[in-house]
Structure 1
Amino acid sequence: MRNLWEVLARRRDYRLVLGAGLVSLTGDWILRIGLAFHVYALTGSTLASGGLLLASFLPLVLLGSPAGVFVDRWDRRRTMVVTNLLHALVLLPLLLVRDGDTLWLIYLVILAQSCLQQFFRPAEQSLIPALVEAPQLVTANSLNSQANDISRLVGAGAGGILAAAGGLPLLALVDAATYLIAMTFLLGVRHRPERVKAERVGGVRVAVRGIKGEWVEGIGVCLSGPALRLVFVFGLVTGVGEGVMSTLFAPFVSAELGGDGTAYGLITSSQAVGGIAGGLIAAAVGSRFPAAKLWGFGAVAFGLIDLALFLYPLFWKGLAPAFACMIVVGVPGAFMVAGLMTVIQRLTDDASRGRVFGALFATEGLAVLVGIVGAGALGDVVGIIPLLVVQGLGFSIGGVVVLSRLRILTPAPAEPVPAVV
């Protein structure tokens, strides 16, 4: 509890970054849910709705890793400020969408927002270690995880209501307002590191060569040791599982549990409840344990609970266990994410951290796409439950491997960061 109080009460810059993330993520969920509702209402096509997913994933796969080069070159606070401002501006074309003929504007906006996000996420994760002391990293990452769940719970509910009340213009304006509020928070951050790596002379060709060299150097860092290689393999395996889960969970609820669309929505959103509780617990006590252990034990427990969720319909029918499992799984999920993010931040130095996070997010995005395609192709052939079981096994086995490699995942402690109230 002491670390939780220290982070929230004494780390002013971190509070501002956390608040900015909470506000903007809530806006993201409002827009995401509302857009899915609006696109389907305009077209009546599930293919058109699926295009939203494609538009959001392509920049992650193609731009995620190169974007990390610029995150390492630029001031990260300034990068987050500018991307929030640009997020608000690129939402304006949504005000012009009237019918199916202007649907392309929605895809263009989603594509642009996803491109901006590839700069924001690595910048945020790379900035956090500079705002808190090393022993407080688990607490800070746990609070970030909790903010994600709170924003999903609030934004998902508000998105449907706002879409019905004011349509796409209201969704766009509300989301833009959240980005501007988040930008205001970030402008108050006082942390100003000195970091200038960009080429100043030599022309465009030299600058491009420098960027390419730094990108290659960043990939080398990602593959440079067994610890980071383990991080990337874990991301690949669990990313495929998440793609399978996102594709087959709705059919699972319908075909195996006998639930309807309302049940699916409630079961899915119930994980956020456990995530909020788990994030609070991890923030309060997580700093007492090595981050790698939080990651490993969290992954094992997460996978085992998922396996219980996917297998219980073979023995008992009903929706109650599904709700219970989805709530409970949020707790080890919060520990797993907090531990994993902390391990990565401690394994990397400030000069390369953005490239490592950018490459990891791109790797996970590619793995999710592989899981989505694989589940769509094999779902009717192999069956829903067997494929979902693979997802649970991936997390559990991955967690066991992490626990067997604790020695390589624990670097020397870093210097403390002065507190700013």
Structure 2
Amino acid sequence: MRTLWEVLARQRDYRLVLSAGLVSLTGDWILRTGLAFQVYLMTGSTLASGGLLLASFLPLVLLGSLAGVFVDRWDRRRTMIITNALHALGLLPLLLVRDENQLWVIYLVILVQGCLQQFFRPAEQSLVPLLVEPRQLVTANSLNSQTNDIARLVGAALGGVLAAAGGLPLLALADAATYLVAMGLLLAVRHRPGRVIVERVRGVRAAVQGLRDEWVEGIRICVGGPAMRLVFVFGLVTGVGEGAMSTLFAPFVSAELGGDGTAYGLITSSQAVGGIAGGLIAAAAGSRFSAAKLWGFGAVAFGLIDLVMFLYPLFWDGLAPAFVCMIAVGIPGAFLTAGLMTVIQRLTDDASRGRVFGALFAAEGAALLVGIAAAGLLGDVVGIIPVLVVQGLGFFVGGLVVLRRLDILTPDTSRSEVAV
């Protein structure tokens, strides 16, 4: 608890970055929830709604790794400020949409927003270790993981209300306002880089070659040392599982649990409750444990709870266990996220952290798409529950592997693997 107080009360710059992330993420959930409602209302087509998901994922897969290279070249704080400003401007075309004939404008806006996000996320994750003391890093990452849960609870509710009250224009203006507020908070951050991270190259050919070399280096770091390889493979395996989960969870609630749309929405959002509780616990006590153990035990518990949730309909009727499991799984989920982010930050140095996060995010995005496609094909062939069980097993087995390989993750995680 003392470390939590120190981080929130004494680390002014981190507090500003955390607040900016919470505000902008709330806006993201407002737009995401409201757009899903508006597009279906406008078109009556689930295919059109699916296009939103595709438009949001493509930038992660195609741009995420390369964006990380630029994040390492640029001032992270300035990158986050400019990205927020561009986010706000990029929402303005939504004010022009009147009917389904302009659906392409919505897709284009989501695509642009997704591209900008590929610069923001690695910059944020790379900046955090520079704003807190090393012993406070687990606590800081625990608080970061909470922001998405809080934003989901607030933003998802507001998104539905704003969509019903004012449609696309109100959604766009509300989301743009959150980006401007976040930009103002980041402008107040005093941290400045003490050196130029990457020397500038001259000439088009040299510039392209430099980008290629740095991009390749980011991928090499992800697979070059045993600890980073473990991080990379864990992300791929669980990413496929999360893709399957996102595809089949609604059919699971409907076909296996007998729930309606309201039940699905409530069960899905209930995970945020556990995530907030877990984030607070991890932030208060996480510094007492190694980041690798938080990651490993968090993944094992996450997988076990998911397995219980997916298998109980075979023996028990009712929705109550699903609510309990979704709330409970948020707690180890917060441990997992905080531990994993801390391990990655400690395994990389400041000069390469952005491109490593970019490469990892891109690989996980590709894995998500594989999981979405595989679940769509296999759900009807082998059944919903067997496919979802694989998702739970991925986290469970992955966590066991992490705990078995603590020797490569601790206590030497303070030493970067970049040189491996």
TM range (shorter): over 0.9
For 1:68-87, list aligned pairs within 5 A.
68-87=68-87
Residue 88 (structure 1) aligns with: 88
Deviations 1:105-150 (A, max 9, x none): 1000000000000000000000000000111111000001111100
**Aligned partner of 1:262: which letter?**
T
Structure 1 unmatched runs, 5+ = 416-421
For 1:22-421, list aligned pairs within 5 A.
22-197=22-197, 200=200, 202-410=202-410, 412=412
Residues 68 and 122, structure 1, Cα contact 8 Å, conserved in 2: yes
Identity in percent: 82
Which shifted more, 214-223 or 396-405? 214-223
Residue 418 (structure 1) aligns with: none
Q: How far apart, in 2, do the equivalents of 1:196 and 1:215 lie? A: 18
**Aligned partner of 1:42: which letter?**
M
- Using the TM superposition, give the Cα deviation of residue 211 of structure 1 relative to its aligned residue in structure 2, in angstroms: 1.0
* TM-score of the aligned structures, taking structure 2 as reference length: 0.97
| Superposition CA RMSD, Å | 1.1
- Using the TM superposition, give the Cα deviation of residue 202 of structure 1 relative to its aligned residue in structure 2, in angstroms: 2.9
**Aligned partner of 2:49: which letter?**
S
Q: How far apart, in 2, do the equivalents of 1:9 and 1:65 lie? A: 35
Residue 419 (structure 1) aligns with: none
Residues 75 and 195, structure 1, Cα contact 8 Å, conserved in 2: no
**Helix, strand or coil for the counterpart of 1:223?**
helix
**Helix, strand or coil for the counterpart of 2:224?**
coil
Q: How far apart, in 2, do the equivalents of 1:102 and 1:383 lie? A: 37
Which shifted more, 191-200 or 266-275? 191-200
Residues 346 and 411, structure 1, Cα contact 8 Å, conserved in 2: no
* TM-score of the aligned structures, taking structure 1 as reference length: 0.97
Q: How far apart, in 1, do the equivalents of 2:320 and 2:219 lie? A: 46
Q: How far apart, in 2, do the equivalents of 1:311 and 1:96 lie? A: 47
- Using the TM superposition, give the Cα deviation of residue 161 of structure 1 relative to its aligned residue in structure 2, in angstroms: 0.4
Residues 298 and 332, structure 1, Cα contact 8 Å, conserved in 2: yes
Q: How far apart, in 2, do the equivalents of 1:213 and 1:38 lie? A: 43
Q: How far apart, in 2, do the equivalents of 1:252 and 1:213 lie? A: 45
Residues 74 and 195, structure 1, Cα contact 8 Å, conserved in 2: no
**Aligned partner of 2:16: which letter?**
L
Residues 244 and 388, structure 1, Cα contact 8 Å, conserved in 2: yes
Q: How far apart, in 2, do the equivalents of 1:182 and 1:266 lie? A: 29
Structure 2 unmatched runs, 5+ = 416-420
**Aligned partner of 1:385: which letter?**
I
Q: 1:347 to 1:63 in 2, by over 3 A?
A: same
Q: How far apart, in 2, do the equivalents of 1:232 and 1:407 lie? A: 17
Residues 347 and 413, structure 2, Cα contact 8 Å, conserved in 1: no
Q: How far apart, in 2, do the equivalents of 1:255 and 1:240 lie? A: 22
- Using the TM superposition, give the Cα deviation of residue 197 of structure 1 relative to its aligned residue in structure 2, in angstroms: 4.8
Q: 1:83 to 1:411 in 2, by over 3 A?
A: farther
Q: How far apart, in 2, do the equivalents of 1:411 and 1:274 lie? A: 29
Q: How far apart, in 2, do the equivalents of 1:201 and 1:229 lie? A: 30
Q: How far apart, in 1, do the equivalents of 2:248 and 2:340 lie? A: 26
Q: 1:181 to 1:57 in 2, by over 3 A?
A: same
- Using the TM superposition, give the Cα deviation of residue 410 of structure 1 relative to its aligned residue in structure 2, in angstroms: 2.2
Deviations 1:249-289 (A, max 9, x none): 10110111010000000000000000000000100001100
Q: How far apart, in 1, do the equivalents of 2:13 and 2:411 lie? A: 25
Which shifted more, 216-225 or 106-115? 216-225
| Matched residue count | 415
Q: 1:411 to 1:215 in 2, by over 3 A?
A: farther
- Using the TM superposition, give the Cα deviation of residue 101 of structure 1 relative to its aligned residue in structure 2, in angstroms: 1.2
Q: 1:201 to 1:316 in 2, by over 3 A?
A: closer
**Aligned partner of 1:47: which letter?**
L
Q: How far apart, in 2, do the equivalents of 1:346 and 1:410 lie? A: 10
Residues 139 and 282, structure 2, Cα contact 8 Å, conserved in 1: yes
Q: How far apart, in 2, do the equivalents of 1:95 and 1:226 lie? A: 50
